[in-house]
Structure 1
Amino acid sequence: MIDIDEIILISSRVEQRASQSFNLTCWKSRQPRDDTTYRLKFTDPKVCKSFLLTCCPHEILSSTRMDLGECPKVHDLALRADYEQATKTKDYYYDIDAMEHLQSFITDCDRRTESAKKRLAETQEELSAEVAAKANKVHDLAEQIGKKLARAESLGADGMVEESMKLMEEVEDLRKRKASAEQEYRNSMPASSYQQQKLRVCEVCSAYLGIHDNDRRLADHFGGKLHLGFIKIREKLDELKKTVESRREKRREERELERNARFGEIADYDVTR
């Protein structure tokens, strides 16, 4: 049975989060730029190229548990607008800079994820292969529930009530399967061991997820700004990596042509003197 109150609560929470995010963005965009920023061009090395392409982790993960603080490079919406206008007539190859920035960031995050996994393996009670498989099944079903609930929130906030209700039906089916999986897991080990919180690390954002986490917490995680922010960063990185080699080659060729043209101008100047 789908809980209508749950649908209403989902929509209310999403609207509240969206309003807070919008207000924060508007406030930041209205802040006066200092004289140094005002004089900058978007081509200046001080300007964040990832920001110009709307994929700087400092901006995407702001106000989350992994807030990186202020970016060491300049973020300015006016400069982004200038860049977007300029790219209509010239290629600046800033996607290469952004890819290298995101690659470095994600590599560091993945390293921390592996370290967190090792710490868990050292501190948590070791499970047999059979029990571990049952625990993982509970984790997997819980993640599916959390993701679908988060998606239902998004659809409900967009006014797509029928689609949201359909997802909630799928959630109800997953809840039944999870309850059955939890029973199997519970029966496979002593009660004292079962009560211990079994954790694992989210592969996307490195957050800890517990086997006893309720649906609401999982939905908040998978629909939260931190997790969705990491998805955006990872997807952007994958997109940029597909073309980076050809883009680097094209940039190299273009720079070589520009150098040859400059040398030609110098040679012509020397001849005429």
Structure 2
Amino acid sequence: MAAEQRKLLEQLMGGGMASRTSQLPITDPKVCRSYLVGSCPHDLFTNTKADLGACPRVHSEALKAEYESLSDSERKKYGFEHDYIRDLQSRIEACNRNIDTLQRRLEKTPDEVRQTNALLKSISDLGTTIANGLLEVEILAEMGEVGRAYDEYYKVRHAQAAKADKEKELKALSETSGPSGHQKLQVCDVCGAYLSRLDNDRRLADHFFGKMHLGFAQMRKAYESFPKEMRSMVGGGGGGRRDHQQHHHQDNDMGGVPTGPGGGFGDGWNKGGRGPRSGGFRPRGPRRGW
């Protein structure tokens, strides 16, 4: 879509833009190296809630073709792949941080934890009271103290009812605690979107095959396609950090991944591979891999 818009703009301008970009050498810092090597992240999320806006660097099909025609040794000399890996890693790590933040929001609050612990203690204490009371009733009955045994049994029945009420409270708290509560939310491990476990297959498919989710999946796949050694040189395949100034690369002024409720990523949930961090869910289509 972005490429088509760019072509249309060039036509409207009478080819002036094309002539200027064609004059740029492949090493010009104004050229987008992510676009030369693979796919620029700015082109992956247009018209979605994760839209990064227009790339501030030049996307030239002629320069991309020139780069693709180079031999492996010539490409290695330029080092553009390292720039591309760094760009991917930066955006993937930002997405992963956002996913972690959103996941923590689904966990119980300190107050909910205190309520849960209090209910568990009450249930335990009532259980002990019931057990001791039943034993007392048995002893009193054997002694022929029928009246006292009846009174004690009445106390046991009261404790049993109180225990049942506490158990209902605990169940209700477990089902409604955290923002996920009644909606049963979970965070997509690929793009950071919230989705409900109650969503039907069509809604899940809309997310799995949506432009935003596929964009993040494509970035993660592209990142993982590079050798682990190369990823480690750039910044650590496990999300580690190094001084990026020691490498020749383009400045990262393309912005980050949106944050906030739902990560600004809209609705969705799935379980797909994540990079640079390992683990996470694996995308297998709707209703699978849950």
- What TM-score comes out, normalization by structure 1 length? 0.52
1:63 to 1:44, Cα distance in 2 relative to 1, 3 A: same
> In the alignment, what sits opposite 1:29?
7
Structure 1 pair 227–246 and aligned structure 2 pair: CA distance change class (3 A)? closer
Please give the alpha-carbon distance, in whole angstroms, between the structure 1 residues aligned to 2:97 and 2:5.
35
Counterpart amino acid of residue 49 in structure 1: R
Q: Does the 8 Å contact 1:93/1:247 carry over to 2? A: no
2:38 counterpart (40, 54, 58): 54
- Partner of 2:91 in structure 1? 105
Q: Specify the alignment match of 1:11 in structure 2.
A: none
Contact kept, 8 Å, 1:106 with 1:234, in 2: the verdict is yes
Q: In structure 2, what is the equivalent of residue 66 of structure 1?
A: 50
Distance 1:219 1:39 in 2: 44
What corresponds to 1:149 in structure 2?
A: none
| Residue among 102, 109, 113 paired with 1:116 | 102
Match of 1:175 in 2: none
Residue 182 of structure 2 is matched in structure 1 by 196
Contact 2:22/2:60 (CA < 8 Å) preserved in 1?
no
C-alpha deviation, 1:243, in angstroms: 4.4
Aligned residues: 168
Contact 2:185 2:195 in 1 (8 A): yes
Q: Distance in 2 between matches of 1:208 and 1:109?
A: 13
User: What are the residue-to-residue correspondences of 1:66-215 with 2, within 5 Å?
Assistant: 66-87=50-71, 90-91=74-75, 92-122=78-108, 193=175, 196-215=182-201
Counterpart of 2:38, as a letter, is T
Show CA shifts across 1:30-69 (max 9, x none).
4315264343122111111111122221112222220111
Over 3 Å counting, the alpha-carbon distance change for 1:87 and 1:69 in structure 2 is farther
> Alignment identity in percent?
41
Cα distance between partner residues in 1 of 2:212 and 2:64: 24
Distance 1:246 1:105 in 2: 16
CA distance in 2, matches of 1:27, 1:103: 27
Cα distance in structure 1, aligned partners of 2:97 and 2:38: 24
Q: Deviations over 1:128-150 (max 9, x none)?
A: 9xxxxxxxxxxxxxxxxxxxxxx
- Is the CA contact 1:99–1:241 (under 8 Å) kept in the aligned structure 2? no
When structure 1 is superposed on structure 2, of 200-209 and 234-243 the one drifting more is 234-243
1:29 Cα deviation after fit: 3.1
**Superimposed CA distance per residue, residues 80-139 of structure 1 (whole angstroms, 9 cap, x where no aligned partner):** 11221234772233111111111111111111111111122257x77x9xxxxxxxxxxx
User: Is residue 216 of structure 2 the alignment partner of residue 233 of structure 1?
Assistant: no
User: Which residue identity is paired with 2:194?
Assistant: Y
Q: Which amino acid aligns with 1:196?
A: H
For the pair shown, which has the larger CA radius of gyration, 1 or 2?
Answer: 2
2: CA distance, partners of 1:247 / 1:90:
19
Q: 1:198 to 1:37 in 2, by over 3 A?
A: same
Q: CA RMSD in A?
A: 3.4
Contact (CA 8 Å) 1:200, 1:210: kept in 2 or not?
A: yes
**Residue ranges of structure 1 left out of the alignment (5+ in a row):** 1-20, 129-187, 249-254, 256-273
Larger fraction in helix = 1
- Cα distance between partner residues in 2 of 1:102 and 1:25: 20
Question: Aligned in 2, Cα 1:247/1:104: closer, same or farther, shift over 3 Å?
Answer: closer
Distance 1:189 1:38 in 2: 67
